[in-house]
Structure 1
Amino acid sequence: MVYRLLALDIDGTLLKSNFKIDRSTREAIRYVKKKGVYVTLATGRNFPSAKKIAKELKLDSILITHNGALIASSIDEPLYERRISAEQVRRIVEVIEPYDAHIRLLHERYALGNQVQQKSQLIAKMTMGVGDPLFYPVTFTDHLSDHLETKPMSVPKIDVQFFNAEEQEEAYHQLMDEVEDIDVTASTRCGFEIIPKSVNKASGLQFLGKHLGISMKEMVAVGDFVNDLEMIRHAGLGVAMGNAPEEVQQAADWVTRSNDQHGLEYMVREVFRKQMKMQIELPVER
């Protein structure tokens, strides 16, 4: 199989644990791009944050952001978008607000979050603030539900950070029982992400593939956590990082090294360079 598209998760995949991009990773991406492979980012991050990473890598691709709810190369002209309705947002906030949790309503241009107790504030900033560019404003309010009464919001995604595993589990089940037409996934071990029903990175890749004329079997998808499962399962080659949990590795066709062990660069060398070599060595039909 000749792979024509490479889809990369950002956190835990493209980025090392220190949130930097290794030089060898940059070179690997430059290599496949030069060989005509379409390289995109498929991430739970907001669009401005993903666009910042793309610019750093010199990618002008259409990006799959907000876990597939917003697909665009320009924020002003999205190729595809799905939103959680204002009424659903209000109900979700009503369910989660009584818990010890930090909530962020992630619009494509800005975010609105609730204030959390001081003991949890540092944790919230560490786990949810990484990667938010300065040009993506985040506003905080004491009571999100009160704010939404006067200023309703419809958003592609909602992030929730919990500080108690039991409360996280309880809130998840309550959401599933009381709010319709949403899905819940995760990109960290201590929180979850709420998106419109049937939206995920795999559906985003399928939409992008139809736009580009590239089938799912011609794609390589690389990720490291639960929100990457669907694209790993449905891509022609689903790759899990060595730092991915067991269920993600089990779903993958191939497991590479961890993000701190040049896993992405290793995968490119093993898959794409061999592919390019095979293409060169194929005899020309006459």
Structure 2
Amino acid sequence: MERKMLVLDIDGTLTNSKKEITSKTKEAIIKLQKNGHIVVIASGRPTAGIIDIADELELDVYGGFVLSYNGAKITSWRTNEVVYQQVLPAKYIRILYDFAKENNVGLVTYEDECVVTGTRHDKYMEHEAKINGIRIKDVAPFPDYVNFNVNKCLMTAEPEKALEVENKLNEMYGNELSIYRSEPFFVEIMPQNVDKAATLDVLVNMLGLNKENTICCGDGFNDLSMIKYAGIGVAMENAQEIVKESADYVTKSNDDDGIVHVIEKFIFNEKKAV
């Protein structure tokens, strides 16, 4: 059996609607790692928001990896070493802050186990902090406080407004930064040419693997790049329609152990996963 790499988004993919990994899904993931395959968590979340999940799946034991910030950082979970990262040029912190204030949208970045903001709170910012299990830290002035390396900024707004913000930012800085929505209400801003596929390609080459043996699973807009990149691109049944249209295979939903069916079908070739 050829060594394969299973790449998993978290929210809406690996975890169910309760933000939990079911015992059946966990068992299947542990089994494939015991059989020598590699598991990679690829998420828009900050690294701090992935720790519990990576530990639950025993990535440290079996040598898995975490791609956080939509791929701006790769961490080897066995050694806790950052093996690759890209950061936003410092000048954009003030530019993005001014844009957020002018357009009345939320703006956050990340520091240790905090979501850092200098703008008003909204329910989407609160949601980001909650799903990552970290607190919101208000700072002022934001551009002066954020004098550390930043892998990603996130703007938050109502979906219609977020689409408008995404388009505006791409018109202004699309040739300089990577800007796209991960959820209808989240606009991700990262260093140029950063997305899950670009960073996954770095990891695949680093490990000397064949990208045809990668299986990438996701449900959101920010999963599109890796689903198109993968040897087998998988969309969850609950995925955005454009994601399902771009996938090689649509599995069951995140509430119906869709990842288990992927593992059975494409790694262990078990007939029951039809």
Aligned residue type for 2:137? T
Partner of 1:86: 90
Aligned residue type for 2:138? F
Partner of 1:233: 228
Q: How does 1:13-52 map to 2 (within 5 A)?
A: 13-52=13-52
Change (3 A) 1:150 1:236: closer
Secondary structure (helix, strand or coil) at the match of 2:27 reads helix
Partner of 2:167: 173
Deviations 1:223-266 (A, max 9, x none): 11110001101111110000001110111111001101111111
**C-alpha distance in 2 between matches for 1:239 and 1:150:** 40
**C-alpha distance in 1 between matches for 2:236 and 2:87:** 30
Offset of residue 124 of structure 1: 3.2
**C-alpha distance in 2 between matches for 1:99 and 1:223:** 30
Contact 2:181–2:222 (Cα < 8 Å) also in 1: yes
Contact 1:206–1:215 (Cα < 8 Å) also in 2: no
Partner of 2:178: 183
Query: Which stretch shifts more, 152-161 or 3-12?
Result: 152-161
Change (3 A) 1:206 1:150: closer
Secondary structure (helix, strand or coil) at the match of 1:257 reads coil
Change (3 A) 1:67 1:56: same
Query: Are 2:191 and 1:196 equivalent residues in the alignment?
Result: yes
Contact 2:25–2:260 (Cα < 8 Å) also in 1: yes
Which of residues 261, 265, 279 is equivalent to 2:260?
A: 265
**C-alpha distance in 2 between matches for 1:87 and 1:259:** 39
Partner of 1:246: 241
Aligned residue type for 1:102? G
Query: Are 2:107 and 1:106 equivalent residues in the alignment?
Result: no
Aligned residue type for 1:85? P
Change (3 A) 1:107 1:157: farther
Aligned residue type for 2:13? T
User: Which structure is larger by alpha-carbon Rg, 1 or 2?
Assistant: 1
Offset of residue 101 of structure 1: 2.0
Gaps of 5+ in 2: none
Secondary structure (helix, strand or coil) at the match of 2:225 reads helix
Which of residues 138, 141, 150 is equivalent to 1:140?
A: 138
**C-alpha distance in 2 between matches for 1:252 and 1:169:** 23
**C-alpha distance in 2 between matches for 1:30 and 1:92:** 41
Query: Are 2:74 and 1:71 equivalent residues in the alignment?
Result: yes
Change (3 A) 1:199 1:45: same
Aligned residue type for 1:128? E
Gaps of 5+ in 1: 277-286
Partner of 1:279: none
Aligned residue type for 2:12? G
Contact 1:2–1:275 (Cα < 8 Å) also in 2: no
Aligned residues between the structures: 266
Identity percentage over the alignment?
29
**C-alpha distance in 1 between matches for 2:241 and 2:124:** 26
Offset of residue 38 of structure 1: 0.6
Q: When the two structures are superposed, what TM-score results if normalisation uses the length of structure 2?
A: 0.89
Secondary structure (helix, strand or coil) at the match of 2:269 reads helix
Change (3 A) 1:198 1:246: same
Contact 2:12–2:238 (Cα < 8 Å) also in 1: yes
Change (3 A) 1:247 1:2: farther
Secondary structure (helix, strand or coil) at the match of 1:232 reads helix
Deviations 1:7-63 (A, max 9, x none): 110110001011011111001101111111111101111112212210011112221
Q: When the two structures are superposed, what TM-score results if normalisation uses the length of structure 1?
A: 0.85
Contact 1:107–1:157 (Cα < 8 Å) also in 2: no
